[in-house]
Structure 1
Amino acid sequence: MLFKVRQLWKALVEEQIGIYAREMLGSDIVLPPLAVQTPPKPELGDIAFPLFAYAKLLRTAPVKLASELKSRIEKIDNRPLGDLLIAGPYLNIRIDMNSLASELSTEIASRKEAYGTNDTMAGQRVTIEFSCPNTNKPLHLGHMRNDSIGESVSAILKANGANVRKVNLINNRGVHICKSMLAYQKFGNGETPESTGIKGDHFVGKFYVKFANWAKEDPTAEAQAQEMLKKWEDGDREVLALWETMNKWTLDGLAESYKKMGISFDAFYYESNTYKFGKDEILKGLADGVFYQEDDGSVWVDLSSINLDKKVLLRKDGTSLYMTQDVGTAIMRHQDWPFDSLIYVVASEQQYHFKVLFYVLDQLGYDWAKNLHHLSYGMVNLPEGKMKSREGTVVDADDLVAQLTELASSEIHEKQREDLVGDVEQTASSIALGALNYYLLQVIPTKDMVFNPAESISFAGNTGPYLQYMGARICSMLRKFETEEKGYEGIGFDSSLLTLSDERELVKQLALYPQIVAKAGADLDPSIVCSFLYELSRLFSKWYHDNPVLKAGDKALVRSRIELSKMVLQVLKNAFELIGIPFLESM
């Protein structure tokens, strides 16, 4: 809505600049597009149009041009409602907030959870791949950033009208899987997740760490793992049986973690089902002269046309690599569900991999390869440094969720709010999930970040629990109002009573939400929604602290401020959905 108002003013000012330019120059002239800015201070208005470029073309002072345009526009009867201000070389607009608030109230009340959504991506089929765990270890903090980004971007794209298919590629084969299997053969002693009481993915991950320690002592360990991989690809029954057993242990454990963290998928792909297809595609490309073969039998692609060297696609023993199976997986996905675009949510350290993958698919003749996108995200580290899976120094996802839940539970008990929240365990779990997702998403995806568990769960500051508390606070106020509502029959929302500068800022922020959703979708960046949410909550908190709502005195003012609070609450709920923050009515 705010975007529409800005565009109306922009079109009017551009039109008047064009008319004035023709009058001054006696002919038409191509003018640069008019920039739309936000003034640095509320008292300078809500929209700013810099006039430097036009003043230079017309050989006049910017202030004089601003004054001329103001005079002309004020004489137009059907112009948008609002006041024109001159701020040096800028022509500024103070929006008619009365009109905007009235329209906003009607739109939010009628659209409810649909407020902010749009159809800019209607008809587009988007596949988004994220998570992609290995079946040799549990999920860790790095996976959690991946999952949070994947879920959030999927929700944001849906809010922009796209038809989204969430997919997960399970990395269930390869030498890393064989390392856990080999260690289990040597050190497992027939134990199982059931016999030890250890969750399946944790149980298998323990043997991946054991392999790393064993390999430091036995120089043949790596070669033995490669030999096991060859046996697996050759269909050795004993190796396949162990592989199936240990894969099931891990996948059962991962399913529990996904459920707890609110992660879901529309389809699963397994490398064990796609790598052969990928090998066939590479061999087909070799036969067609797209790729070439070295003397040792390995197959390569020449990357000189994209300013890279070369890349092996099949090893000399015929076994495949990640690249091979990713080729097969992409093709299978398009056959299963023809997409308009495919987004890979993968860490930034894999940028080279995806540049080559997209090039290989293009060379194989798939025209949809130009619509593949690598949503690259930075590494997530701890305050004490980088994590390493094989050394067992990662932050386990299940342990982190449990830790955050315990911290939230302790906060509830400390504040003696057990009766208010009802189910303490469920509420604590929701607070933990909100803390986790918000902390992981508030940083621009491309940037590295440090995750601080204690900081993330804080109920004050720029955190998920702070946002959840703001929603619960509004709910509490509305429950109190409901007990008094009988005395407000016939009193409606009067936007003209919202005259405070804080109220103007709140209305502008609420009106901005649809534009935020659109930008977050265009940029594939959930941090845009996070920043918006924190600013909305900060504005509301300040306004609520400084101004009475239920005790405003005049009933018409109480009703109007209640309606403003309801608008804020609805937008909070809508935005929470986009970044995986559970909404809580009580905290």
Structure 2
Amino acid sequence: MELIHHEQLKLLVAKALETSYRSEQLGDNLLERLIVERPKDESFGDVAIPLFDFAKQLRLSPAVIAKQVVEQIKKVDSSVHVVALSGYVNFFWHKDAFTREILSSMHEGFGQNESLSGEKIIVEFSGPNTNKPLHLGHMRNNVLGESLSRILKNAGAELFKVNIVNDRGVHICKSMLAYQMFGEGATPESTQTKSDHFVGDYYVKYAQWEKEHPEVENEIQAMLHAWEAGDAQVLELWKKMNHWAVSGIAQTYERTGVSFDKIYYESETYKLGKDIVLAGAQKGVFFKAEDGSLRLDVSEITPEDKNSDELPTKVFLRADGTSIYITQDLGTAVARYEDFPFDRMIYVVAHEQRRHFEILFYALDKMGYPWAKQLHHLSYGMVNLPDGKMKSREGTVVDADDLLDTLTEQALLVSENAQRKADDGGKARAFDVALGALHYFLLQINPVKDMVFNAQESLSFTGNTGPYLQYTYARIAGMLRRSEARSLVERFSQPNYTLLNHDVEWRLVKILADFPAITQKAALEYSPSVIAVYLYELSKQYNKFYTDLPIFKEDNLDVAAMRLLLSDKVRLVLKRGLELLVIPVVEQM
């Protein structure tokens, strides 16, 4: 019996546990608690499942449990090579059969799974403001949202990618007022400035002006009230500046491989939640406070910590009947369910908004929306610089476009093709390397962690970087283009898998076999970093194989052909993985 997929192994162990022990002893979520690992010492097995989690409830040592499970598995199929060792159930593959089954099954769709088949999922990400261009923090949000969407779709889900553009409010008026004061009729075209950068420059100018003229805040409030009242002149300026900002941001999306199925605008949705709150007040979900505002009692989800500054109530409508940010999100959530009746919706938003989403989900649940329990906040950490935190108002952010341009120039300098900068494809390849460097750096660690972006480190062609993965792919692609490879490819028609018997080759085959389980794990955990870590391990192992077993120096042409075939399978998985991580696939570097 050849077991390939991790889920099959887990199912086999779960059935053995259920045969050996009562269900009330084992507890719930049996399959979820079984984890497939790769032993560091290969003499212990090719894969292993630890059983320490069951020791306490079964009141037995993990070693005893593992021994019992192995005995049950052997009763089911004596051909399975499985042993119990120190609380682990260790499996050994039959090398020739396993290699044949894995490599012969690998095709362009390898790594796809059906774990989320039939599920309709909305992923919301990006959420830019129209008073400034996208910056490095947005880039982490964007690539997390885009990569997660691709990973979920790869797991069989029906995806609907959405964006909410924050195009109204005080911060937008600040750019508008600064343009009125200092613009003198200038345009992005007249200044030869990318349109969203043009708008962002006025936001910075306002912040600088406000330091010396704090009274200007009164003019901002007046402009906001004029906008809400529909003042024609203010609306005309607002539409013009928002067009500049939105069109510039759209160029950055296209440049970085990010797209959406629908874009919502706050100016169109900010009133949506008002009627929902009023209806909720009639049901007793919201109550009128002494100040006249409509509030929700959130004491049930307020931290018990006496030092916490969390209030036991949350305003959803001001006393004057105007909406606040959470009111908008309330209405938008309902509207999205009407647009795309989802089974779950994932908000990709920084961890600073954790409390906001906790209250939003709680409010929707209290309102009786059955899908409220299927909402998830994918919280991610901040991206900081080596010298501190970014601040938009002070103009100290790392602008996304400027960063990509700088990384592209640096990639040209370190590239083997540096001397061919003038080539038509030279700069395009350098940009692909730069984007790969940035996206990989932003995805390589768990989303919840803060990070410090190091531009020079991200561009390295060695170590745990995007360019290293791209270089590994390009190395294989270049090798397959060599004239010596053509005759070897002809031998693929009748492959002899038994010729792949070197330890380095065997490790590579086992890593390739993990790819479907890795993509599934990334989907279930909402973590592209799972794939990033895997691709780095695969690339390291391949480059060791490439160095230790030079294909074109092998005298036995059949062996050389099989190593070339193995290389092509690595190329296929690298391509699939890079695409899931929104990293350009580079054919030559």
**C-alpha offsets along residues 148-196 of structure 1, whole Å, 9 cap, x if unaligned?**
0000000000000000011111100011111111121222222221221
Corresponding position of 2:362: 359
In structure 2, the residue matched to 1:386 is 389
2:306 maps to which residue? none
* Equivalence for 1:431: 433
1:269 counterpart (264, 271, 280): 264
Aligned partner letter, 2:38: T
Q: 1:158 aligns with which of 130, 153, 160?
A: 153
* Alignment partner, residue 401 of structure 1: 404
Match of 1:103 among 101, 104, 110: 101
Name 1:554's counterpart in structure 2.
556
Q: Which amino acid aligns with 2:140?
A: R
Query: Are 1:341 and 1:371, in contact at CA under 8 Å, matched by a contact in 2?
Result: yes
- Structure 1 residue corresponding to 2:473, chosen from 461, 467, 471: 471
Q: CA deviation at 1:492?
A: 2.6
Task: Kindly provide the amino acid, as one letter, of the partner of residue 95 in structure 2.
Answer: M
| Alignment counterpart, residue 232 of structure 1, candidates 227, 237, 242 | 227
Q: Which runs of 5+ in 1 are unaligned?
A: none
1:574 alignment partner in structure 2 = 576
Question: In the alignment, is the contact (CA less than 8 A) between 1:233 and 1:319 conserved in 2?
Answer: no
Shift of 1:494: 1.8
Moved more, 190-199 or 567-576: 190-199
Per mean C-alpha deviation after superposition, the further-off stretch among 181-190 and 371-380 is: 181-190
- 1:309 aligned residue: 312
Cα pair 1:3 1:515 within 8 Å, conserved: no
Residue matched to 2:45: 45
Superposed CA deviations along residues 238-277 of structure 1, whole A, max 9, x for unmatched, are 1111111110111111111111111111111011111122
User: Conserved in 2, the CA contact under 8 Å of 1:39 and 1:48?
Assistant: yes
Determine the structure 1 residue equivalent to 2:170.
Answer: 175
The match for 1:585 is 587
CA distance in 2, matches of 1:336, 1:248: 25
Moved more, 325-334 or 169-178: 325-334
Aligned mates of 2:424, 2:186 — CA distance in 1: 41
The one-letter code of the counterpart of 1:47 is V
Q: Distance in 1 between matches of 2:470 and 2:255?
A: 19
Change (3 A) 1:517 1:60: closer
Residue 202 (structure 1) aligned to one of 197, 200, 210: 197
**Are the equivalent residues in 1 in contact too, given 2:55–2:62 (CA < 8 A)?**
no
Contact 1:376–1:445 (8 Å) recurs in 2:
yes
Give 1:412 shift: 2.8
The amino acid that maps onto 2:46 is D
d(CA) in 2 for partners of 1:61 and 1:425? 57
Residues 486-540 of structure 1, C-alpha deviations (whole Å, 9 max, x = no match): 7955873222222222212111111100001111000100000000000000010
**Alignment pair present for 1:186 and 2:181:** yes
Alignment of 1:91-130 (within 5 A): 92-108=90-106, 112-130=107-125
How much has 1:65 moved relative to structure 2? 8.3
CA contact (8 A) 2:491 2:561 kept: no
Q: 1:63 to 1:556 in 2, by over 3 A?
A: farther
AA aligned to 1:478 is: L
Note closer, same or farther for the CA distance 1:73–1:290 as it changes in structure 2 (3 Å cut).
closer
Call closer, same or farther: CA 1:190–1:101 in 2, change over 3 Å.
Answer: same
Q: CA deviation at 1:54?
A: 8.0
Distance in 2, matches of 1:35 and 1:321, equals 44
Find the residue that maps to 1:280 and give its secondary structure: helix
Structure 2 counterpart of 1:380, one-letter code: V
1:386/1:504 CA distance change after superposition, 3 Å: same
Output the CA distance in 2 between the equivalents of 1:64 and 1:302: 48
Q: CA RMSD in A?
A: 3.1
Cα distance in structure 1, aligned partners of 2:18 and 2:223: 75
Q: 1:385/1:549 Cα in 2 relative to 1: closer, same or farther (>3 Å)?
A: same
Q: Structure 1, residues 86-113: CA drift from partner, whole Å, max 9, x if none? A: 65565533211211110111111xxx22
- 1:254 maps to a residue whose letter is I
The residue type paired with residue 355 of structure 2 is Y
Q: Identity of counterpart residues, as a percentage? A: 49
Match of 2:135 in 1: 140
Unaligned runs of 5+ in 2: 303-310
C-alpha change, 1:331 and 1:554, in structure 2 (3 Å) is same
CA distance in 1, matches of 2:152, 2:393: 35
Pick aligned residue for 1:291 from 277, 286, 289: 286
Q: Structure 1 residues 30, 55: closer, same or farther in 2, change over 3 A?
A: closer
Q: Is the 8 A contact 1:506 1:540 kept in 2?
A: yes
1:342 aligns with 2:348: no
Q: 1:42 to 1:416 in 2, by over 3 A?
A: farther
Deviation of residue 401 (structure 1)? Answer: 0.7
SS of the aligned residue for 1:375 comes to strand
Equivalent position to 2:448, from 429, 446, 464: 446
What are the superposed Cα offsets for residues 527-583 of structure 1, whole Å, 9 maximum, x if unpaired? 000000000000101111111222221122112111111111111111111101111
CA distance in 1, matches of 2:58, 2:134: 60
C-alpha displacement of 1:117: 0.5
Per-residue deviation at 1:37? 4.3
Equivalenced residue count is: 575
Q: Which moved more, 1:324-333 or 1:478-487?
A: 478-487
SS of the equivalent of 2:264 reads strand
| Worse-matched range after superposition: 42-51 or 321-330 | 42-51
Contact 2:96 2:497 in 1 (8 A): yes
Moved more, 313-322 or 6-15: 6-15
Q: TM-score, normalised by structure 2?
A: 0.89
Residue 570 of structure 2 is aligned to residue 564 of structure 1: no
Aligned counterpart, 2:209: 214
Q: Of residues 464, 471, 474 in structure 2, which corresponds to 1:462?
A: 464
Task: State the SS of the aligned residue for 1:435.
Answer: helix
Check the 8 A contact 1:6/1:47 in 2, yes or no. no
SS in 1 for 2:214: coil
CA contact (8 A) 1:3 1:512 kept: no
Contact 2:256 2:435 in 1 (8 A): yes
SS of structure 2 residue aligned to 1:532: helix
Q: Distance in 2 between matches of 1:357 and 1:371?
A: 12
Greater mean deviation of Cα atoms: 400-409 or 54-63: 54-63
Give, in whole Å, the separation in 2 of the partners of 1:491 and 1:289.
Answer: 72
CA contact (8 A) 2:417 2:426 kept: no
The residue number in structure 1 matching 2:305 is none
Q: Which region of structure 1 is more displaced relative to structure 2, 566-575 or 232-241?
A: 232-241
Question: 30-39 or 523-532: which moved more?
Answer: 30-39
Whole-Å separation in 1 of the counterparts to 2:130 and 2:341:
28
Are the equivalent residues in 1 in contact too, given 2:207–2:394 (CA < 8 A)?
yes
Which residue pairs with 2:321 in the alignment? 318
- Give the corresponding residue for 1:523: 525
- Pick one of 234, 244, 247 that aligns with 2:242: 247
So what's the TM-score if we normalise by structure 1?
0.90
Cα 1:152–1:549 change in 2 (3 A) is: same
2-side partners of 1:54 and 1:569: how far apart?
42
